[in-house]
Amino acid sequence: MEIKIGALTIYFPDASSSDFFINEDLAEFFGFETSLEAATFIKKKLKDRMEYSFKKLKIDYETNGIFITSKNGEIIVEAAIIINELVIIEIKNSEIVEVIKSVKNFKRPKKQRWVVGDIFYIPLKNGYFSFGQIIKKGDLGLPICCLFDLVSNEVVEIHNIINKNVVSILPISSQSLDNHTWKIIGNKSIVVKVEEVIKGQPKNYLRRITRGTYSDSSLKELAEALNGIRPWNENIDVNYFDKMLVPDYQKPDNLLFLTRDEKINYFKKLGYDLHQLEESYSKTPDWF
């Protein structure tokens, strides 16, 4: 859930996170060249204006934005009002009242319960669905999931899912399972065991499955890339998606690839220089 207040958007807690937060490119708002400069400026202004409540805020930054978080929604609203004032954006009092009312009345949704054996669907960005299964719970309590070689424009019966080939096994974060984005549609005996898949494989593959944790979005992005919904080579690491595949899986021949110029422009739109990123990546040890 989210709500606009002036030029900013306040995001509400979900099943995985208890924080209210603002995520905006405030460097652009205030005419700074970097997010660090903007974060320093915002911290000082909020500290001067908020006094005690400032202590309940966390402010962080990345290249393309500043994150302001708090477990207290009214404090986030207070910060948002001040930032809008600094940008000289007027907010009607009625709008503030409605935002505060929404924050006060908000009830955080409960997590979706999930266990080993659960079958779930993954909504893809073209409106279709891919499907997976939780095959193990990792040491940190996070799910290790497999992805089936199946994409459909509707949620299909479980018996038509589990008889498909497994294309990937990944240890992932649980956010999309927790917050009901990936709906659980049933439970069956696991179709594959992690120990059997990693047996005899190179150390890099072993580390990926037993010691790594991928963002849950990685499984969704892999499904989209395998089905031509997103480019196979959109990442800095040209083998990024290949590394996610189980060893005996043969990827399709009709994958979507960006040309060199298309890839350069793709990263340019994101605010990055592809050449610099590739140079930096080439110096990073490939542990996984």
Helix (H/G/I), strand (E/B), else coil: 70: strand
The residue behind tokens 């043969």 is 250
The band of 77, judged by pLDDT with boundaries at 50, 70 and 90, is very high
Closest CA to 116 of 24, 230, 23, 194: 194
d(CA 44, CA 72): 20
pLDDT averaged over every residue in the chain: 91
Domain borders along the chain are: 2-105, 118-257
pLDDT at 88: 86
The band of 194, judged by pLDDT with boundaries at 50, 70 and 90, is confident
Mind listing the pLDDT tens digit for each residue in 233-287?
999 998 899 999 998 899 999 999 999 999 999 888 877 899 998 888 887 776 5
Cα separations (Å) of 168 from 80, 117, 151, 242? 42, 16, 14, 10
Q: CB count, 10 Å around CB of 170?
A: 23
Q: CB count, 10 Å around CB of 262?
A: 12
pLDDT at 228: 94
Burial (Cβ within 10 Å: 0-12, 13-18, ≥19) of residue 110: exposed
The band of 42, judged by pLDDT with boundaries at 50, 70 and 90, is very high
Cα separations (Å) of 203 from 140, 155, 197? 21, 36, 13
pLDDT at 287: 57
pLDDT at 283: 79
203 pLDDT more than 80: no
Mind listing the pLDDT tens digit for each residue in 92-127?
999 999 999 999 999 998 999 999 999 999 999 999
pLDDT at 87: 87
Mind listing the pLDDT tens digit for each residue in 135-175?
999 888 899 999 999 999 999 999 999 999 999 999 999 99
> Which contiguous run of DSSP H or E holds residue 45?
helix 35-50
The band of 15, judged by pLDDT with boundaries at 50, 70 and 90, is confident
Q: Which residues contact 253 (CB under 8 A, 6 or more apart)?
A: none
**Contact in structure between 128 and 152 (CB atoms under 8 Å):** yes
User: pTM score, two decimals?
Assistant: 0.76
pLDDT at 19: 94
Q: Which residue has the higher pLDDT, 177 or 287?
A: 177
**Contact in structure between 49 and 27 (CB atoms under 8 Å):** no
pLDDT at 162: 95
Q: What is the DSSP letter of 245?
A: B
